[in-house]
Amino acid sequence: MSTSAEPGRTWPLVGRAAELDDLDDLLSTAADGVGVTVLLEGEAGVGKTSLVDALRGSARLLDVELRTAQATAMRGWPFALLSDALLVRSSGAGHGPGGSPVEAELADLLEAMHADPTGSIARYDRATELFAALLRRHGDLRPWALVLEDVHEADAPSLAVLLQLAHEGAVPRALVVLTMRPVPYRPELAELVAAWTRAGARYLELRPLNARATVELAENLVGGPVGPSLRGTLATTGGNPRLVADVVRTARAAGALVATDGVLDSTGSRWMDPLDEVVRRRVEYLGPEVLELLGQASVLGTSFVIADLASLAGDPVADCWRTLRHGLAAGVVRARGDRLVFGHDLVREALYNGLDAEQRRALHARAAWALRQAGAPTQIVTGHLERAR
Protein backbone atom coordinates (compact mmCIF):
# COMPACT_ATOMS: atom_id res chain seq x y z
CA MET A 1 0.00 0.00 0.00
CA SER A 2 1.41 3.34 -0.89
CA THR A 3 0.96 6.42 1.23
CA SER A 4 -0.81 9.30 -0.43
CA ALA A 5 0.40 12.87 -0.23
CA GLU A 6 -1.59 15.36 1.83
CA PRO A 7 -2.76 18.52 0.21
CA GLY A 8 -0.23 21.21 0.95
CA ARG A 9 2.87 19.37 -0.17
CA THR A 10 5.24 21.51 -2.15
CA TRP A 11 8.03 20.06 -4.13
CA PRO A 12 10.95 19.92 -3.70
CA LEU A 13 10.74 19.74 0.08
CA VAL A 14 11.97 22.84 1.82
CA GLY A 15 14.70 22.73 4.43
CA ARG A 16 15.39 19.02 4.13
CA ALA A 17 18.45 18.90 1.89
CA ALA A 18 20.66 17.27 4.54
CA GLU A 19 18.08 14.64 5.47
CA LEU A 20 17.39 13.81 1.82
CA ASP A 21 21.12 13.43 1.18
CA ASP A 22 21.42 11.15 4.20
CA LEU A 23 18.60 8.91 3.03
CA ASP A 24 19.94 8.81 -0.53
CA ASP A 25 23.35 7.76 0.78
CA LEU A 26 21.79 5.00 2.82
CA LEU A 27 19.79 3.84 -0.16
CA SER A 28 22.97 3.66 -2.24
CA THR A 29 24.58 1.63 0.52
CA ALA A 30 21.67 -0.79 0.37
CA ALA A 31 21.87 -0.82 -3.43
CA ASP A 32 25.49 -1.95 -3.01
CA GLY A 33 24.19 -4.92 -1.07
CA VAL A 34 24.64 -3.78 2.53
CA GLY A 35 21.68 -3.90 4.93
CA VAL A 36 20.84 -0.63 6.68
CA THR A 37 18.08 0.20 9.13
CA VAL A 38 16.85 3.70 9.90
CA LEU A 39 14.55 4.78 12.70
CA LEU A 40 12.94 8.04 11.62
CA GLU A 41 11.19 9.77 14.48
CA GLY A 42 9.48 13.13 14.63
CA GLU A 43 6.46 14.97 15.95
CA ALA A 44 3.10 14.75 14.16
CA GLY A 45 3.15 16.60 10.84
CA VAL A 46 6.88 17.35 10.87
CA GLY A 47 7.36 15.71 7.46
CA LYS A 48 8.23 12.02 7.96
CA THR A 49 5.92 10.79 5.19
CA SER A 50 7.09 13.55 2.87
CA LEU A 51 10.71 12.60 3.44
CA VAL A 52 10.27 8.89 2.84
CA ASP A 53 8.09 9.61 -0.19
CA ALA A 54 11.13 11.29 -1.66
CA LEU A 55 12.85 7.89 -1.65
CA ARG A 56 10.61 6.84 -4.53
CA GLY A 57 12.54 8.83 -7.11
CA SER A 58 15.95 7.74 -5.86
CA ALA A 59 14.86 4.10 -5.71
CA ARG A 60 13.74 4.27 -9.30
CA LEU A 61 17.06 5.79 -10.36
CA LEU A 62 19.06 3.16 -8.51
CA ASP A 63 16.74 0.38 -9.68
CA VAL A 64 15.99 -0.60 -6.10
CA GLU A 65 12.59 -2.13 -5.46
CA LEU A 66 10.64 -0.09 -2.94
CA ARG A 67 7.97 -1.60 -0.74
CA THR A 68 5.96 0.62 1.56
CA ALA A 69 3.16 0.12 4.03
CA GLN A 70 1.56 2.33 6.60
CA ALA A 71 0.25 1.15 9.92
CA THR A 72 -3.07 2.47 11.13
CA ALA A 73 -4.71 1.53 14.39
CA MET A 74 -7.88 0.82 12.37
CA ARG A 75 -6.21 -2.07 10.63
CA GLY A 76 -5.02 -3.76 13.76
CA TRP A 77 -5.45 -7.33 12.62
CA PRO A 78 -2.45 -9.62 13.04
CA PHE A 79 0.45 -8.96 10.65
CA ALA A 80 -1.54 -6.24 8.84
CA LEU A 81 1.51 -4.03 8.39
CA LEU A 82 3.81 -6.71 7.03
CA SER A 83 1.08 -8.26 4.88
CA ASP A 84 0.49 -4.90 3.26
CA ALA A 85 4.19 -4.50 2.59
CA LEU A 86 5.06 -7.99 1.49
CA LEU A 87 2.04 -9.91 0.33
CA VAL A 88 0.33 -7.33 -1.82
CA ARG A 89 1.96 -6.16 -4.98
CA SER A 90 2.22 -2.42 -5.52
CA SER A 91 -0.39 -2.77 -8.31
CA GLY A 92 -2.81 -3.78 -5.57
CA ALA A 93 -3.34 -7.28 -6.94
CA GLY A 94 -3.46 -9.92 -4.24
CA HIS A 95 -0.57 -12.27 -4.10
CA GLY A 96 -2.36 -15.23 -2.67
CA PRO A 97 -1.46 -18.79 -3.45
CA GLY A 98 0.10 -17.70 -6.77
CA GLY A 99 3.29 -16.49 -4.98
CA SER A 100 6.16 -18.47 -3.54
CA PRO A 101 5.41 -21.47 -1.29
CA VAL A 102 6.20 -19.29 1.74
CA GLU A 103 3.75 -16.65 0.60
CA ALA A 104 1.11 -19.27 -0.11
CA GLU A 105 1.53 -20.77 3.34
CA LEU A 106 1.34 -17.31 4.88
CA ALA A 107 -1.83 -16.49 2.98
CA ASP A 108 -3.41 -19.69 4.32
CA LEU A 109 -2.28 -18.98 7.86
CA LEU A 110 -3.60 -15.41 7.77
CA GLU A 111 -6.90 -16.61 6.43
CA ALA A 112 -7.17 -19.14 9.23
CA MET A 113 -6.36 -16.40 11.75
CA HIS A 114 -9.06 -14.15 10.38
CA ALA A 115 -11.56 -16.94 10.57
CA ASP A 116 -10.56 -17.80 14.11
CA PRO A 117 -8.69 -14.96 15.84
CA THR A 118 -8.42 -16.89 19.09
CA GLY A 119 -6.63 -19.70 17.23
CA SER A 120 -3.49 -21.48 18.25
CA ILE A 121 -0.25 -19.81 19.28
CA ALA A 122 1.52 -22.19 16.94
CA ARG A 123 -0.11 -20.41 14.00
CA TYR A 124 1.23 -17.04 15.15
CA ASP A 125 4.68 -18.48 15.73
CA ARG A 126 4.73 -20.06 12.31
CA ALA A 127 3.56 -16.84 10.65
CA THR A 128 6.21 -14.86 12.54
CA GLU A 129 8.87 -17.27 11.37
CA LEU A 130 7.65 -17.12 7.76
CA PHE A 131 7.45 -13.33 7.67
CA ALA A 132 10.97 -13.11 9.10
CA ALA A 133 12.22 -15.53 6.44
CA LEU A 134 10.43 -13.61 3.71
CA LEU A 135 12.04 -10.37 4.83
CA ARG A 136 15.47 -11.91 5.06
CA ARG A 137 15.29 -13.49 1.63
CA HIS A 138 13.47 -10.80 -0.25
CA GLY A 139 16.76 -9.25 -1.33
CA ASP A 140 18.29 -12.48 -2.66
CA LEU A 141 17.75 -11.40 -6.25
CA ARG A 142 18.20 -7.68 -5.93
CA PRO A 143 18.55 -5.09 -3.21
CA TRP A 144 15.38 -3.44 -2.00
CA ALA A 145 13.98 -0.85 0.34
CA LEU A 146 11.22 -1.32 2.85
CA VAL A 147 9.46 1.66 4.34
CA LEU A 148 7.14 0.89 7.24
CA GLU A 149 5.30 4.01 8.23
CA ASP A 150 3.83 4.92 11.60
CA VAL A 151 5.03 1.85 13.45
CA HIS A 152 3.69 3.45 16.65
CA GLU A 153 0.32 2.23 15.35
CA ALA A 154 1.49 -1.14 14.07
CA ASP A 155 -0.18 -4.40 15.00
CA ALA A 156 1.73 -6.26 17.71
CA PRO A 157 2.54 -9.39 15.63
CA SER A 158 4.23 -7.27 12.93
CA LEU A 159 6.29 -5.59 15.64
CA ALA A 160 7.20 -9.04 16.98
CA VAL A 161 8.59 -10.03 13.56
CA LEU A 162 10.62 -6.82 13.39
CA LEU A 163 11.92 -7.49 16.90
CA GLN A 164 13.03 -10.96 15.94
CA LEU A 165 14.84 -9.57 12.91
CA ALA A 166 16.61 -6.98 15.04
CA HIS A 167 18.18 -9.76 17.07
CA GLU A 168 19.74 -11.08 13.87
CA GLY A 169 21.07 -7.75 12.59
CA ALA A 170 20.19 -5.63 9.57
CA VAL A 171 17.98 -7.17 6.90
CA PRO A 172 20.40 -8.31 4.15
CA ARG A 173 20.60 -6.10 1.06
CA ALA A 174 17.82 -3.85 2.24
CA LEU A 175 17.27 -0.32 3.43
CA VAL A 176 14.60 -0.62 6.11
CA VAL A 177 13.05 2.63 7.28
CA LEU A 178 10.67 2.68 10.23
CA THR A 179 8.88 5.98 10.79
CA MET A 180 7.25 6.85 14.08
CA ARG A 181 5.79 9.57 16.23
CA PRO A 182 7.19 9.69 19.77
CA VAL A 183 3.61 9.46 21.06
CA PRO A 184 1.70 7.26 21.85
CA TYR A 185 4.28 5.43 23.90
CA ARG A 186 4.06 1.65 23.51
CA PRO A 187 6.30 -0.69 25.49
CA GLU A 188 6.58 -3.15 22.60
CA LEU A 189 7.71 -0.32 20.33
CA ALA A 190 10.24 0.87 22.89
CA GLU A 191 11.60 -2.67 23.02
CA LEU A 192 11.82 -2.77 19.24
CA VAL A 193 13.63 0.56 19.07
CA ALA A 194 16.09 -0.59 21.74
CA ALA A 195 16.74 -3.85 19.89
CA TRP A 196 17.34 -2.08 16.57
CA THR A 197 19.55 0.45 18.30
CA ARG A 198 21.68 -2.41 19.60
CA ALA A 199 21.71 -3.84 16.09
CA GLY A 200 23.33 -0.61 14.86
CA ALA A 201 20.26 1.07 13.35
CA ARG A 202 20.61 4.74 12.45
CA TYR A 203 18.38 7.07 14.42
CA LEU A 204 17.20 10.12 12.55
CA GLU A 205 15.20 12.71 14.43
CA LEU A 206 13.29 14.90 12.05
CA ARG A 207 13.21 18.36 13.57
CA PRO A 208 10.81 21.19 12.81
CA LEU A 209 11.74 23.60 10.02
CA ASN A 210 13.82 26.64 10.86
CA ALA A 211 12.33 30.12 10.53
CA ARG A 212 13.59 30.63 6.98
CA ALA A 213 12.31 27.30 5.73
CA THR A 214 8.97 27.96 7.44
CA VAL A 215 8.49 31.18 5.46
CA GLU A 216 9.79 29.51 2.29
CA LEU A 217 7.20 26.75 2.63
CA ALA A 218 4.42 29.30 3.09
CA GLU A 219 5.69 31.25 0.07
CA ASN A 220 5.67 28.10 -2.03
CA LEU A 221 2.13 27.39 -0.90
CA VAL A 222 0.75 30.85 -1.66
CA GLY A 223 2.92 31.29 -4.75
CA GLY A 224 4.71 34.51 -3.81
CA PRO A 225 6.24 36.57 -1.02
CA VAL A 226 4.26 36.81 2.20
CA GLY A 227 3.72 39.93 4.34
CA PRO A 228 4.38 40.70 8.00
CA SER A 229 1.00 39.77 9.43
CA LEU A 230 1.03 36.29 7.93
CA ARG A 231 4.69 35.92 8.95
CA GLY A 232 3.61 36.70 12.49
CA THR A 233 1.19 33.79 12.51
CA LEU A 234 3.71 31.54 10.76
CA ALA A 235 6.16 32.25 13.57
CA THR A 236 3.75 30.55 15.97
CA THR A 237 3.80 27.24 14.10
CA GLY A 238 7.07 26.17 15.68
CA GLY A 239 8.29 25.18 12.20
CA ASN A 240 5.78 22.36 11.87
CA PRO A 241 5.03 22.01 8.14
CA ARG A 242 1.52 20.68 8.68
CA LEU A 243 0.66 23.67 10.86
CA VAL A 244 2.21 25.98 8.24
CA ALA A 245 -0.05 24.41 5.61
CA ASP A 246 -3.02 24.74 7.99
CA VAL A 247 -2.35 28.45 8.49
CA VAL A 248 -2.10 29.14 4.77
CA ARG A 249 -5.08 26.99 3.83
CA THR A 250 -7.34 28.42 6.52
CA ALA A 251 -6.44 32.02 5.71
CA ARG A 252 -7.05 31.39 2.04
CA ALA A 253 -10.34 29.54 2.60
CA ALA A 254 -11.64 32.43 4.72
CA GLY A 255 -10.71 34.91 2.00
CA ALA A 256 -8.26 36.55 4.40
CA LEU A 257 -5.28 36.54 2.00
CA VAL A 258 -4.88 39.82 0.17
CA ALA A 259 -2.26 40.74 -2.42
CA THR A 260 -0.72 44.18 -2.28
CA ASP A 261 2.05 44.96 -4.79
CA GLY A 262 2.60 41.24 -5.28
CA VAL A 263 2.95 40.52 -1.54
CA LEU A 264 0.32 38.26 0.01
CA ASP A 265 -0.70 38.99 3.54
CA SER A 266 -3.47 38.05 5.92
CA THR A 267 -6.00 40.65 6.99
CA GLY A 268 -8.68 40.72 9.63
CA SER A 269 -9.31 38.13 12.27
CA ARG A 270 -12.26 36.17 10.92
CA TRP A 271 -9.98 33.27 9.99
CA MET A 272 -8.69 32.92 13.54
CA ASP A 273 -11.61 30.87 14.91
CA PRO A 274 -11.51 28.34 12.08
CA LEU A 275 -7.73 28.14 12.49
CA ASP A 276 -8.07 27.43 16.22
CA GLU A 277 -10.48 24.64 15.41
CA VAL A 278 -8.15 23.06 12.85
CA VAL A 279 -5.24 23.25 15.28
CA ARG A 280 -7.22 21.75 18.14
CA ARG A 281 -8.11 18.82 15.93
CA ARG A 282 -4.39 18.35 15.19
CA VAL A 283 -3.60 17.75 18.86
CA GLU A 284 -6.67 15.68 19.70
CA TYR A 285 -4.58 12.52 19.48
CA LEU A 286 -2.92 13.47 22.78
CA GLY A 287 -6.07 12.47 24.62
CA PRO A 288 -8.36 14.38 27.01
CA GLU A 289 -6.19 14.18 30.12
CA VAL A 290 -3.10 15.70 28.51
CA LEU A 291 -5.19 18.28 26.66
CA GLU A 292 -6.97 19.36 29.81
CA LEU A 293 -3.69 19.99 31.60
CA LEU A 294 -2.22 21.76 28.58
CA GLY A 295 -5.37 23.88 28.42
CA GLN A 296 -4.74 24.93 32.02
CA ALA A 297 -1.11 25.58 31.18
CA SER A 298 -2.15 27.78 28.25
CA VAL A 299 -3.46 30.29 30.79
CA LEU A 300 0.03 30.71 32.21
CA GLY A 301 1.52 31.76 28.87
CA THR A 302 4.00 30.46 26.33
CA SER A 303 6.41 29.35 29.01
CA PHE A 304 5.62 28.47 32.58
CA VAL A 305 7.10 26.90 35.69
CA ILE A 306 5.83 23.38 36.34
CA ALA A 307 5.25 24.06 40.06
CA ASP A 308 2.91 26.94 39.13
CA LEU A 309 0.94 24.68 36.82
CA ALA A 310 0.70 22.11 39.61
CA SER A 311 -0.78 24.63 42.04
CA LEU A 312 -3.08 25.97 39.35
CA ALA A 313 -4.30 22.46 38.56
CA GLY A 314 -4.41 21.49 42.23
CA ASP A 315 -2.34 18.39 41.57
CA PRO A 316 1.06 17.29 42.89
CA VAL A 317 4.00 18.25 40.69
CA ALA A 318 4.80 14.58 40.09
CA ASP A 319 1.32 13.96 38.67
CA CYS A 320 1.67 16.94 36.35
CA TRP A 321 4.99 15.61 35.07
CA ARG A 322 3.48 12.20 34.54
CA THR A 323 0.67 13.64 32.43
CA LEU A 324 2.84 16.17 30.62
CA ARG A 325 5.39 13.53 29.70
CA HIS A 326 3.18 12.71 26.72
CA GLY A 327 2.96 16.35 25.69
CA LEU A 328 6.73 16.57 26.02
CA ALA A 329 7.36 13.48 23.93
CA ALA A 330 4.97 14.83 21.30
CA GLY A 331 6.90 18.11 21.16
CA VAL A 332 3.82 20.14 22.11
CA VAL A 333 5.73 21.40 25.14
CA ARG A 334 9.49 21.42 25.57
CA ALA A 335 11.40 21.28 28.84
CA ARG A 336 13.87 23.99 29.83
CA GLY A 337 14.97 23.02 33.33
CA ASP A 338 11.94 23.34 35.59
CA ARG A 339 10.20 25.47 32.98
CA LEU A 340 8.13 24.24 30.10
CA VAL A 341 7.69 26.07 26.82
CA PHE A 342 4.94 25.48 24.30
CA GLY A 343 6.58 24.22 21.12
CA HIS A 344 4.00 25.95 18.93
CA ASP A 345 2.35 29.07 20.27
CA LEU A 346 -0.37 28.42 17.71
CA VAL A 347 -1.32 25.34 19.70
CA ARG A 348 -1.25 27.22 22.99
CA GLU A 349 -3.54 29.91 21.60
CA ALA A 350 -5.92 27.33 20.16
CA LEU A 351 -6.13 25.55 23.50
CA TYR A 352 -6.59 28.85 25.35
CA ASN A 353 -9.32 29.98 22.99
CA GLY A 354 -10.95 26.57 23.36
CA LEU A 355 -11.58 27.10 27.08
CA ASP A 356 -15.10 28.25 27.81
CA ALA A 357 -15.34 31.76 29.22
CA GLU A 358 -16.30 30.68 32.70
CA GLN A 359 -13.50 28.17 32.93
CA ARG A 360 -10.98 30.67 31.60
CA ARG A 361 -11.94 33.24 34.23
CA ALA A 362 -11.67 30.65 37.00
CA LEU A 363 -8.26 29.55 35.75
CA HIS A 364 -6.98 33.13 35.63
CA ALA A 365 -8.18 33.61 39.20
CA ARG A 366 -6.32 30.48 40.31
CA ALA A 367 -3.27 31.53 38.31
CA ALA A 368 -3.25 34.91 40.09
CA TRP A 369 -3.36 33.14 43.42
CA ALA A 370 -0.70 30.54 42.49
CA LEU A 371 1.65 33.14 41.04
CA ARG A 372 1.26 35.47 44.00
CA GLN A 373 2.12 32.60 46.35
CA ALA A 374 5.17 31.88 44.24
CA GLY A 375 6.33 35.49 44.43
CA ALA A 376 5.54 36.65 40.88
CA PRO A 377 5.62 40.42 40.24
CA THR A 378 2.41 42.31 41.07
CA GLN A 379 1.98 43.35 37.46
CA ILE A 380 1.73 39.72 36.30
CA VAL A 381 -0.67 38.82 39.10
CA THR A 382 -2.82 41.84 38.26
CA GLY A 383 -2.90 40.80 34.62
CA HIS A 384 -4.45 37.50 35.61
CA LEU A 385 -6.88 39.15 38.01
CA GLU A 386 -8.08 41.42 35.23
CA ARG A 387 -8.78 38.45 33.01
CA ALA A 388 -10.49 36.68 35.88
CA ARG A 389 -13.28 39.24 35.85
Ligand X SMILES: Nc1ncnc2c1ncn2[C@@H]1O[C@H](COP(=O)(O)OP(=O)(O)OP(=O)(O)O)[C@@H](O)[C@H]1O
Which residues of this chain interact with Mg ion, rule CB under 5 A?
48-49
- 151 vs 347, which CB is nearer to Mg ion? 151
Pick from 2, 9, 231, 325 the residue near ligand X by CB under 6 A: 9
Smallest Cα–Cα separation from 133: which of 98, 174, 161, 96? 161
Between 145 and 174, how does the x/- string for binding to ligand X read (CB under 6 A)?
-----x------------------------
- 217 vs 368, which CB is nearer to ligand X? 217
Give, in degrees to the nearest 5, the angle at Cα 167 between 164 and 169. Answer: 115
CB 285, CB 342: distance < 8 Å: no
Residue 288, preceding bond cis, omega within 30 degrees?
Answer: no
What's the rounded Cα separation, in Å, for the pair 142 and 318? 53
CB 23, CB 158: distance < 8 Å: no
Between 118 and 137, how does the x/- string for binding to ligand X read (CB under 6 A)?
--------------------
What's the rounded Cα separation, in Å, for the pair 259 and 41? 38
Element (DSSP H or E) covering residue 339: strand 339-342
Which does residue 44 touch among ligand X, Mg ion, none (CB within 5 to 8 A, set by kind)?
A: ligand X
Quote the least distance from Cβ 173 to Mg ion, whole Å: 26
Pick from 36, 146, 245, 279 the residue near ligand X by CB under 6 A: 245
Which does residue 181 touch among Mg ion, ligand X, none (CB within 5 to 8 A, set by kind)?
A: ligand X
Q: Verify binding: residue 44, ligand X, rule CB under 6 A.
A: yes
Quote the least distance from Cβ 148 to ligand X, whole Å: 12
Quote the least distance from Cβ 219 to ligand X, whole Å: 11
What's the rounded Cα separation, in Å, for the pair 374 and 113? 59
- 16 vs 173, which CB is nearer to ligand X? 16
Between 50 and 69, how does the x/- string for binding to ligand X read (CB under 6 A)?
x-------------------
Which does residue 67 touch among ligand X, Mg ion, none (CB within 5 to 8 A, set by kind)?
A: none
Residue 228, preceding bond cis, omega within 30 degrees?
Answer: no
Q: How far apart are the first and last CA of the chain?
A: 55
- Classify burial at 23, counting beta carbons within 10 Å of its beta carbon; exposed 0-12, middle 13-18, buried 19 or more: buried
Contacts with ligand X by CB under 6 A lie at 5-6, 8-10, 13-16, 42, 44-50, 150, 181, 217, 241-242, 245
